Amino acid sequence: MKKVITIIILVLLVAGGLTFYFRYYYVFGEGVKAGELNYCTYKGYVFKTYEGKLIQAGFKKAAAGTIQSYEFPFSVEDKAVADSLMRCSGKTVELHYKEYIAPIVWRGVSEYVVDSIVSVQ
């Protein structure tokens, strides 16, 4: 009976570990977004993270008779990249990002994490 319980506990631990990995650390997608950098800030109550927003060119229809700009909210893990972005507000930038399934509080509030700046214009 002890052997069966041990096996069940091990299977549950492995399944929980795999679920945690795929939910929070598996890179679901990555790419490059371009647009005007609206802001990049350092904020948070317990876990201070770098958060930003990119405004992309073009408009989409939000509801009947209204238009809304494309916004790309993102988090930044690397302090050097965040410092560079803080000096680029209002400029057109291309950002390389990784998309995760769910955010982690110490990584940021967005599932999109910018890891490098491709270009600044």
The sign of the CA dihedral 84, 86, 89, 94 is positive
Q: pTM for the full model?
A: 0.80
Q: Where are the alpha helices (DSSP H) in the chain?
A: 2-24, 79-86
Per-residue pLDDT, 70? 86
- Measured distance CA(42)–CA(97) in Å, rounded: 18
Sort 96 into a burial class: Cβ within 10 Å, 0-12 / 13-18 / 19+.
middle
What confidence tens digit (pLDDT) does each residue in 52-104 have? 999 987 665 656 656 666 899 999 999 999 999 999 888 999 999 999 999 99
